[in-house]
Amino acid sequence: MSPEIILLVLLGALLHATWNAIVKAGDDKLIGAAMISAGGGLCCIPFLPFVPFPHVESLPYLLASTVLQFAYFQLVAIAYRIGDIGLVYPLMRGVAPLIVAMTSGFVLGEHLSRTAMLGVTTISAGIMTLAFEARHGNRNAVLAALANAGVIAAYTFVDGVGARLSGNAISYTLWMSLPPPVLLFAFAIYKRGKAQVASYVRRHWPRGLLGGAGSTTSYGLALWAMTKAPVATVAALRETAILFAIVISVVFLKEKASLWRYAGGAIIALGVLVLRLA
C-alpha cells in the first residue's frame, strides 16, 4: 500500500472519530446526532444523479437499515450523554466486529479461521481490560455501548446483503443515508419540541454539516482506497479510529483516562486489526 493511500485511510479514521467527538461535545446529544445524520445525507444528495437506483430486491434491506440506523444514532446520543468517548467509542467499534465474527456462521454460513479466532480472543481481552475501569462506575455507559455494538453488527449484516442485492453498493450507501435523518428529527421534535430543535439547529448547523461531511468523507475515502489496495488491509487500517478517539477524548475533551482505558483501547484496536486481516 502506497504512503498516499495509507495517509488518506488514516485521515478517514480520524474523521470518523472526530464526528463522534462532535456529538459528544454538543449540549444536546439527541439533536446533535440527528444533525450529524442529516449532514451526511445532504452531502450524499449531489451524487445521486450519477448512480443507478438500487434494485427493488434490496429495498426491504434498505428499510431495515433505516430503522437500525435510527437506533444506532439514538444509542450514540445516550452513550455519549452518560459516558466518556474514550470508554464508549472503543467498545462500540471493537465489540461490533466481534459480534459479527462470532455470529457469521449462523447468519451467513461463514466460519472463522484461526486468525479470526485470534482476533476475537484479543478483542475479548481488550473488553475485559476496559471492564476494570467500568467497575468504578459508567456501567450504564458500557451497557449502552454494548447495545449499540449489537445494532452495528445487525446493520452490518443487513447492509452486507442489501448492497449485494442492490446492483451498486455505492448507490445503496447513498440512498441509505437519506431516510434516517427524517426519523431522527421527527423523534427529536417529539422529545424536544419544534422550537427547541429549530433553535439548536440555527445555532449549531455548521457543526452538523461538518460532522456529516466528515462521516461521509470517511466512508468515501475507505471505498476509494479499497479500489487501490486490498480490502482487508484498508479495513484494518481504519480501525485506528479507536486510538484517535482515545487521543481526542484526552487532548480535546479533557476526559480523564486511566491506564486501563489506554491499554483496553490499544488491545481492542489490535484485535480488530487481526480480525480484519483474517
Helix (H), strand (E), coil (C) string for 200-211: HHHHHHHHHHHH
Does pLDDT of 251 surpass 90?
A: no
C-alpha cell at 17: 472519530
Q: Which sign, positive or negative, has the C-alpha torsion 192, 31, 201, 28?
A: positive
Q: What is the pLDDT of residues 49-68, one digit of tens each?
A: 999 999 999 999 999 999 99
DSSP string covering 91-159: HHHHHHHHHHHHHHHHHT-----HHHHHHHHHHHHHHHHHHHHHTTS-HHHHHHHHHHHHHHHHHHHHH
Report pTM. Answer: 0.83
Does pLDDT of 136 surpass 80?
A: no
**Range with the poorest average pLDDT among 8-22, 152-166, 185-199, 219-233:** 219-233
Average pLDDT over residues 257-274: 80
Task: Find the largest Cα–Cα distance for the chain.
Answer: 55
Average pLDDT over residues 184-189: 96
Tell me which residue of 49, 16, 73 sits closest to 216, measured CA to CA. 16
| Higher-pLDDT residue of 100, 183 | 183
Contact 120, 170 (CB under 8 A): no
Does pLDDT of 79 surpass 80?
A: yes
Side chain identity, residue 94 = G
Q: What is the pLDDT of residues 95-111, one digit of tens each?
A: 887 787 778 777 766 66
Does pLDDT of 31 surpass 80?
A: yes
Contact 218, 12 (CB under 8 A): yes
Place of cell 440512498: 175
C-alpha cell at 69: 440506523
